[in-house]
């Protein structure tokens, strides 16, 4: 059972470049979410989804897009990367009653 | 103003020196309070869920307790392998959605 899988693990971008962070889970969880973690700031919610075709914004959504075409996948898109988006990104899914989150291993992104 | 405040930010203990981490919250309509452990370079890993004041949960050297305003994570006779960042999250009901809010974490180092 792989759980939540994130790719890539590391990425370096130049300002203005675009990219997609991949997230897949094999637990058939309806709820999935993206967080960013910055030193001293804790985990902040970017976007979340309560099921295929349904997404909503979290605390810090600007500069990020998401879509949810399947239960398994929840990609995060950076359309035009900015240095302020340098961070560690975590994808998480939650069990059916959302009592606990299962996190991926994270993507460390640097935007130069 | 943070809805979830963890203290201290960092804690250094000697092996065997028991202590407690604090998580205070200001949200109303608490659905549940969660503790996670995060090791360097990894995603957070679930430890406990607490739902009501007076509830306690234990796992090895860790015990989590909950009051109406705060939660404590007690660490009894810690070992170096307990070194990690401990995150607290509060889940509340808002418009029918359940979205956890994380504190900034307590970084624990246990010296041998």
Residue range A17-49, pLDDT digits in tens = 999 999 999 999 999 999 999 988 889 999 999
- Say yes or no for a CB contact (<8 Å) between A90 and B44: yes
pLDDT in the model for residue B95: 47
- The arithmetic mean of pLDDT across residues B40-53, rounded, is 94
Answer whether residue A1 shows pLDDT above 90. Answer: no
pLDDT in the model for residue B50: 94
Give the angle A1-A78-A27 at the CA atoms, nearest 5°. Answer: 15
pLDDT in the model for residue B93: 67
Q: Is the CB of residue A40 less than 8 Å away from at least one CB of chain B?
A: yes
Give the angle B59-A95-A70 at the CA atoms, nearest 5°. Answer: 150
Cite the beta strand spans of B1-112 per DSSP E.
4-7, 10-14, 19-25, 30-38, 45-50, 56-59, 62-66, 70-75, 84-94, 97-102, 106-111
Q: Is the CB of residue A102 less than 8 Å away from at least one CB of chain B?
A: yes
Answer whether residue B101 shows pLDDT above 50. Answer: yes
Please classify residue A12 by burial: count the beta carbons closer than 10 Å to its beta carbon, then call 0-12 exposed, 13-18 middle and 19+ buried.
Answer: exposed
Answer whether residue B96 shows pLDDT above 60. Answer: no
- Say yes or no for a CB contact (<8 Å) between A42 and B103: yes
Which chain A residues in 47-66 lie under 8 Å from chain B, judged by CB atoms? 48, 50, 56, 58
């Amino acid at each position: 059972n792989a759980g939540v899988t994130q790719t890539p693990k590391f990425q370096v971008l130049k300002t203005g470049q675009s990219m997609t962070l991949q997230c897949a889970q094999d637990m058939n969880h309806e709820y999935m979410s993206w967080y960013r973690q910055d030193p001293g700031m804790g985990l902040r919610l970017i976007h979340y989804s309560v099921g295929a075709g349904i997404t909503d914004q979290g605390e810090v959504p600007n500069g990020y897009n998401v879509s949810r075409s399947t239960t398994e996948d929840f990609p995060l898109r950076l359309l035009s990367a900015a240095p302020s988006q340098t961070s560690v990104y975590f994808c998480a899914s939650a069990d059916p009653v959302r009592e606990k989150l299962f996190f991926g291993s994270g993507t460390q992104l640097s935007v130069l | 103003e943070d809805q979830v405040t963890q203290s201290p930010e960092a804690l250094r203990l000697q092996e065997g020196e028991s202590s407690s981490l604090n998580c205070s919250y200001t949200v109303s309509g608490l659905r549940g309070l969660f503790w996670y452990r995060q090791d360097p370079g990894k995603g957070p890993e679930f430890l406990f869920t607490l739902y009501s004041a007076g509830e306690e949960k234990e796992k090895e050297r860790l015990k989590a307790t909950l009051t109406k305003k705060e939660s404590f994570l007690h660490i009894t006779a810690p070992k170096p392998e307990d070194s990690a960042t401990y995150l607290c999250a509060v889940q509340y009901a808002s418009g029918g959605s359940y979205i956890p809010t994380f504190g900034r974490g307590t970084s624990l180092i246990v010296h041998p």
